[in-house]
């Protein structure tokens, strides 16, 4: 029998491990089961090259809970350890001291890279026992135990089968880990796809005589298989395994790279019908099939954080702090590779299955536009497949739109004017006026479109955007003088004065123009620049924040050629005339959603009084 002290240069290493090694104590089970998996994989390798003699047998890992005895046992029939290996791996914690440990690892997300996985057991256990038999059957079976102090016991025991058994005596503060549902939940989260079958047993639960216990994990998830072996049903079934309540995804990308870095995984494009349904952190990161985290920022491009699925890579430096992760060359390469794969897939679908691509655009548009704003390399590729749906339901690429509007929508500066609507129902009158002139109006009605428009005006050559209600239809492309008004100058001035009344929270400019006789009697428009600034202020604040405090600007264009004014100007009842004028203005403001509160109530009451013929 050997007794001794675990070789560290501080006697306080165990309290530090217990407190700082992992932020979540659940991790201890992941570490121990991962170690058992490694041991099982090693014996497979040694057996395949003839170095390990004897029968390999059925490799498996048993997790056994005994709440009565306050123990949790992790047992494998893997490679095992000799007495020398136990002394080397369990008795030498290679730290120079507590202070250095804290300095170096306090921000780390350690995944066993430092041999610390085993010691995570002391976060929850007051005592840990290890019984292990090396695959070299000539070596003795070894018993090791430690109570969380630097002292340990190590001696030979009666011969056992190959592999390692770790018994954790759970401490008082960690009694939650003696609950069956808690252990099952941890195994399901971290070990669901490990390559060695894992069986969980709660000794307190009665088992039927003929009951067959199934492993709790899927040892062969589809991301480790070849795409050529998989069907559409396989991918959809796996998606339901990851997200039981999720809708069938639009499509997916199978990642499979072995040079210059190792990367496998499946990325799914989910259906997103409304922007408020967006959920980030739905991609799970694995390292050799061990779940690590669902926070994949820096590894996955920001705009693809909306995707769902799995990424598995042993080349992501999980043992270092997040700040270092951002600058790691492998992480940058993986990030760029994922961007390229997504862009290539979208381009392929657009080129080969355009009707299907357009059908999915409601969900795809969010990814594509977000990516174009945030990733220059993605922008280069996406320029060829980003589409805009017009108010008739037809889709146009940017180049297709330019070609279709070459004769009608180029301004004096030679720029193509993309006329858009943010609300086809509310802005219907403006859309009808624009389409009547032969203009093509596209829909820009999602939460990202305001920022997208501003970005693309800077990135696309000779293109600018104008909202369909930014001016009267004759001025959407270039400012026009307008048709000659049938009103005399004095009548126009009188009409202008009649419309110049204060409106709460609005800065109103009135102009009288000779529009076509079938145009509305009053058209309310909001200048493009000021409206955009207010939209940006509402979303992002920053330098545009002061615009949010400013009243909305609106221009009331009075159509001097509308027949209603021929009789209205002759109305002898001044009060009635003013009410009718105010109602015409309010109708125009209502079309812009600018009539609210008391102003809206007054409009309703005034309309009723005008209808009263008594």
> Is pLDDT at 146 greater than 80 in this prediction?
yes
Both tokens of 244, joined, read: 């039981």
pLDDT score recorded for residue 73: 97
The string of pLDDT tens digits covering residues 478-497 is 776 666 777 888 888 888 89
pLDDT of 13 strictly over 70: no
Q: Where are the domains of the chain?
A: 2-202, 222-359, 489-533+548-614
What pLDDT is stored for residue 100 in this prediction?
43
Across the range 401-410, mean pLDDT stands at 93
Q: 1-10, 48-57, 137-146, 343-352: lowest mean pLDDT where?
A: 1-10
Comparing 28 with 21, which gets the higher pLDDT?
28
pTM confidence score: 0.76
> Residue 336 contacts by C-beta under 8 Å, 6 or more apart in sequence?
377
Q: How far apart are CA 60 and CA 191, in angstroms?
A: 13
Instruction: Say yes or no to pLDDT of 10 above 50.
Output: no
For residues 389 and 369, what is the distance between their CA atoms, to the nearest angstrom?
14
Contact present, 383 and 369 (Cβ < 8 Å): no
pLDDT for position 112: 39
Predicted pLDDT of residue 218: 92
Locate 389 and state its tokens.
């749906």
pLDDT at residue 71 is higher than 90: yes
The stretch 187-192 carries a mean pLDDT of 92
Contacts of residue 56, Cβ cutoff 8 Å, sequence gap at least 6: 43, 44, 47
Assign 526 a pLDDT band (cuts: 50, 70, 90). confident
Q: What is the pLDDT of residue 367?
A: 85
| 164 or 247, greater pLDDT | 164
Q: What pLDDT score was predicted for residue 325? A: 52
What are 538's two structure tokens?
């509402």
The least confident of 51-60, 85-94, 252-261 is 85-94
The CATH number fitting domain 2-202, selected from 3.30.565.10, 3.30.70.60, 1.10.110.30, 1.10.10.10? 3.30.565.10
Tell me phi and psi for residue 545, to 5 degrees: -55, -35
* C-beta of residue 115 within 8 angstroms of C-beta of residue 94: yes
**Is the predicted pLDDT of residue 243 greater than 80, yes or no?**
yes
pLDDT tier at 279, thresholds 50, 70, 90: low
556-570 pLDDT per residue, tens: 988 888 889 888 888
Say if residue 38's pLDDT is above 50: yes
DSSP-based three-state secondary structure for 483 = strand
Q: For residue 535, is pLDDT > 80?
A: no
Could you read off the pLDDT of 284-337 as tens digits, one per residue? 888 888 888 877 877 888 888 888 999 998 887 654 334 445 556 778 888 889
Q: Tell me the two tokens of residue 79.
A: 């490679």
Phi, psi of 39 (to 5 degrees): -65, -35
The pairing of strands 163-170 and 71-76 is: antiparallel
Determine the pLDDT at residue 321.
38
**From residue 245, how far is each of 237, 239, 413 by CA, in Å?**
12, 10, 52
pLDDT at position 598 is: 86
Is the model's pLDDT at 97 over the cut of 50? Answer: no
What is the percent of the chain where pLDDT is above 90? 38
Task: Indicate the pLDDT class of residue 610, thresholds 50, 70 and 90.
Answer: confident
Per-residue pLDDT, 113: 39
Arch. (CATH architecture) of 489-533+548-614: Up-down Bundle (1.20)
pLDDT of 351 reads 95
Give residue 481's pLDDT. Answer: 64
pLDDT tens for residues 355-392?
Answer: 999 999 988 888 899 899 989 999 999 999 999 999 99
More confident residue, 29 or 503: 29
- Out of 49-53, 89-93, 214-218, least confident range: 89-93
> What pLDDT score does 254 carry?
94
What gap in Å lies between CA 523 and CA 504, rounded to an integer? 19
- Please compute the mean of the pLDDT values over residues 547-555 and round it to a whole number: 74
Band the pLDDT of 95: cuts 50, 70, 90. Answer: very low
- Is residue 213 scored above 50 in pLDDT? yes
Lowest model confidence (mean pLDDT) among 71-75, 299-303, 548-552: 548-552
CA angle 121, 125, 126 (to 5 degrees): 135
Q: Is the pLDDT of residue 22 over 60?
A: no
Strand-pair partners of 154: 2, 144
Q: Which residue has the tokens 């932020």?
A: 23
Angle of helix 98-105 versus helix 13-20 axis, rounded to 10: 20
Averaged pLDDT score across all residues of the chain: 83
pLDDT(128) > 70: yes
3 state DSSP class of 166: strand
Q: What is the C-alpha to C-alpha distance for residues 479 and 434, in angstroms, rounded to an integer?
A: 15
Residue 18: predicted pLDDT? 60
The larger pLDDT score, comparing residue 46 to residue 442, is at: 442
Residue whose tokens read 């997040």: 322
pLDDT at 253 over 60: yes
Distance CA 568, CA 578 (A): 10
Q: Look at 334 and 111; give whichever has higher pLDDT.
A: 334
CATH number attached to the domain at 222-359: 3.30.230.80
Compute the average pLDDT of residues 410-428. Answer: 91
State both tokens at 331. Answer: 């992480």
């Amino acid at each position: 029998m050997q007794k001794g002290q675990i070789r560290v240069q501080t006697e306080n290493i165990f309290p530090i491990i217990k407190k700082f090694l992992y932020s979540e104590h659940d991790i201890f089970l992941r570490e121990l089961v991962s170690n058992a998996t490694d041991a099982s994989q090693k014996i497979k390798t040694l057996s395949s090259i003839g170095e390990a003699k004897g029968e390999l047998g059925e490799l498996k890992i048993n997790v056994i809970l005994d709440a009565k005895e306050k123990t949790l046992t992790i047992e494998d029939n893997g490679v095992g350890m000799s007495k020398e290996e136990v002394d080397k791996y369990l008795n030498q914690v290679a730290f120079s001291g507590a202070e250095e440990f804290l300095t170096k690892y306090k921000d780390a997300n350690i995944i066993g890279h430092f041999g610390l996985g085993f010691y995570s057991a002391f976060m929850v256990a007051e005592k840990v026992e290890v019984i292990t038999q090396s695959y070299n059957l000539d070596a003795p079976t070894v018993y090791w135990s430690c109570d969380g102090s630097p002292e340990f016991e190590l001696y030979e025991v009666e011969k056992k089968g190959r592999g390692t058994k770790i018994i954790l005596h759970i401490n008082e503060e960690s009694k939650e880990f003696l609950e069956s549902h808690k252990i099952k939940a941890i195994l399901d989260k971290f070990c669901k796809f490990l390559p060695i079958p894992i069986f969980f047993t709660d000794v307190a639960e009665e088992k039927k005589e003929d009951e067959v216990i199934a492993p709790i994990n899927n040892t062969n998830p589809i991301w480790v298989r070849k795409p050529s072996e998989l069907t559409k049903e396989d991918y959809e079934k796996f998606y339901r395994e990851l997200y039981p309540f999720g809708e069938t995804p639009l499509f997916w990308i199978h990642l499979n790279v072995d040079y210059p870095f190792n990367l496998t995984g499946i990325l799914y494009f989910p259906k997103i019908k409304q922007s408020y349904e967006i959920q980030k952190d739905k991609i799970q990161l694995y390292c050799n099939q061990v779940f690590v985290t669902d926070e994949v920022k820096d590894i996955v491009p920001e705009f693809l954080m909306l995707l769902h699925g799995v990424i598995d890579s042993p080349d992501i430096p999980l043992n270092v702090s997040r700040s270092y992760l951002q600058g790691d060359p492998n992480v940058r390469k993986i990030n760029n590779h994922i961007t390229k794969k997504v862009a290539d897939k979208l381009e392929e679908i657009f080129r080969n299955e355009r009707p299907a691509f357009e059908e999915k655009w409601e969900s795809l548009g969010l990814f594509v536009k977000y990516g174009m704003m945030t990733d220059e390399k993605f922008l280069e590729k996406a320029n060829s497949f980003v589409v805009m749906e017009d108010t008739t339901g037809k889709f146009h690429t940017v180049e297709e739109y330019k070609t279709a509007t070459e004769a009608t929508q180029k301004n004096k500066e030679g720029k193509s004017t993309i006329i858009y609507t943010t609300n086809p129902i509310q802005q219907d009158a403006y859309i009808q006026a624009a389409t009547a002139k032969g203009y093509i109006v596209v829909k820009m009605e999602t939460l990202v479109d305001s920022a997208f428009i501003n970005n693309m005006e800077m990135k696309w050559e000779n293109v600018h955007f104008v909202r369909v209600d930014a001016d009267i239809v004759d001025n959407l492309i270039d400012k026009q003088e307008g048709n000659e008004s049938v009103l005399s100058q004095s009548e126009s001035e009188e009409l202008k004065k009649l419309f110049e009344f204060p409106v709460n929270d609005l800065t109103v400019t009135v102009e009288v123009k000779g529009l076509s006789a079938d145009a509305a009697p009053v058209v309310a428009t909001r200048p493009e620049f000021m409206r955009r600034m207010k939209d940006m202020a509402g979303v992002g604040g920053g330098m545009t924040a002061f615009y949010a405090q400013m009243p909305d600007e609106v221009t009331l264009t009075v159509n001097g050629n509308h027949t209603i004014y021929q009789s209205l100007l002759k109305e002898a009842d001044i009060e009635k005339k003013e009410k009718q004028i105010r109602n015409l203005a309010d109708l125009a403001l209502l079309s812009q959603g600018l009539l609210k509160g008391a102003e809206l109530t007054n409009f309703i009451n005034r309309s009723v009084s005008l209808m009263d013929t008594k």
